[in-house]
Every structure is written in C-alpha cells, then in structure tokens.
A and B are shown apart, each in its own frame.
Chain A
C-alpha cells in the first residue's frame, strides 16, 4: 500500500468547528508535507514538517508529527466554507537520494455554511 494514508476518507463539519485529519505512514521519513486541492484543480502546498520537528503552525493550520507512531495530524481551526477541499499528506522517505514524494489518497473535507 502507499506510504501515506489519510484518515478519515471524508469529513463533514459545520462552519466554525475544528477539523482534524490524520496521516499514517510505514517507513522512516525526512519530512512530511500537507497539500490542499480544490475540486478539479492543482494541489497547493500548506505546510512542511521535518522529521525532527513535532509541531508547526501556519495561520489556522496546526500540524503535528509523531515519528514514534509514524503519524501526523492536520488541524484546521475555526473552519470556513472556503476550506472545503481534499487534503493530502505526502512523505519524503528517500533519504534525499531520489525524487519521490509519496502522496496518500486524501481526506475530503466539507465545511457546511
């Protein structure tokens, strides 16, 4: 199976609520990235967290990384209808020697107004 797997596959919340998405992976990583994709469009980079970091913030986004559990979470606080999108985690487990950034299947987040 692929390196990064997001959970849940789909999440529906009300505007103003927080949304939490999880990503699990199998092998050691150098970094983990989160991307957002609006329907039928390209992916947009959100946050990169390195293997020696435990938490990063960017505006309403908070990413945590637990390398002992091989998992990461993306928290979106005070969600808005515009946050409706698919969210993907991507892992670099290459040691920097190849080019792959392995993406999961994504979590579809729906924020209802």
Chain B
C-alpha cells in the first residue's frame, strides 16, 4: 500500500444524509487530489489542492464540498447526494506543487453507495 490512507473504505448513505470522506497522506507531499471513478468511465478529476490552496474545481456539483486544513489532510463533505453519485472516490497526492507532470500516489478509495 502507498502512504495515502482513506476512511471509511465503504459508505452507504441516504440521499438526505451528510457524511465526510477523509484522506491522509504520510509522504510529505504538497498537492492532493480527489478523483471519482465510476464503472466504465475514465477517472474524473474533481478537486486539486496545491500547497493547501484549491487550484482546480472541475465543475463539480455543490453537493460535494472539499476541505484541506493542512498539506497532509483532505476531506470531501457530502450532502444531499444522488444515486448517480455512487462510485469509488479516490484520493491522491503528489510531491511539490500540483502538476500534470507529477506522479500520483493513490489511496485505496472509499466505495460510496447512495440509496
């Protein structure tokens, strides 16, 4: 496993619930990313934080709200989700500033099911 952890690993929630996904990296990296992986679709970039500053919000619905309190932690707050939001949510980090050139280190993901 990489030095990126995610909790919980599995989450089932109703459409009216509020929940949060947590990601922690132990690699001393300065950039963190949230990706969504749905069946038979390419990995979708949702949010990018570089040096704790959000640098990209890829047209993600407001029912997803990221938070990056420091360079080691990243959260994804969820509220009033839809069934189509069910997916594997992956957190990743990279060294230095966020860049397309940088190798990504991924966590194991949170499997989210919205009922």
Contacts and interface: CB of A to CB of B under 8 A. Distances in A.
Interface of A: 2, 30-31, 33, 35, 40-45, 48, 88, 90, 92-94, 96, 98-105
A98 B6 CA distance: 25
Nearest to A38: B108
Contacts of A44: 2, 106
A96 B42 contact: no
A105 B44 CA distance: 10
Contact of A96 (B99, B103, B104): B99
B42 A105 contact: yes
Contacts of A103: 42-43
Contacts of A30: 100-101
Nearest to A42: B106
Interface stretch (B48-56, B67-75, B77-85): B48-56
B109 interface: yes
Contacts of B98: 99
Given A40-B109, A40-B111, A2 B101 contact: no
Contact of B100 (A40, A45, A99): A99
Contact of A40 (B40, B55, B88, B102): B88
Contacts of B103: 33, 45, 48
Interface residues of B, number: 30
5 contacts: A42-B2, A43-B106, A99-B48, A101-B104, A104-B42
4 nearest A-B pairs in the assembled complex, by CB-CB distance = A42-B106, A92-B100, A94-B100, A103-B43
A100 B2 contact: no
B100 A98 contact: yes
Contacts of B92: 42-43
B43 A88 contact: yes
Interface string B91-115: 0100000111111111111010000
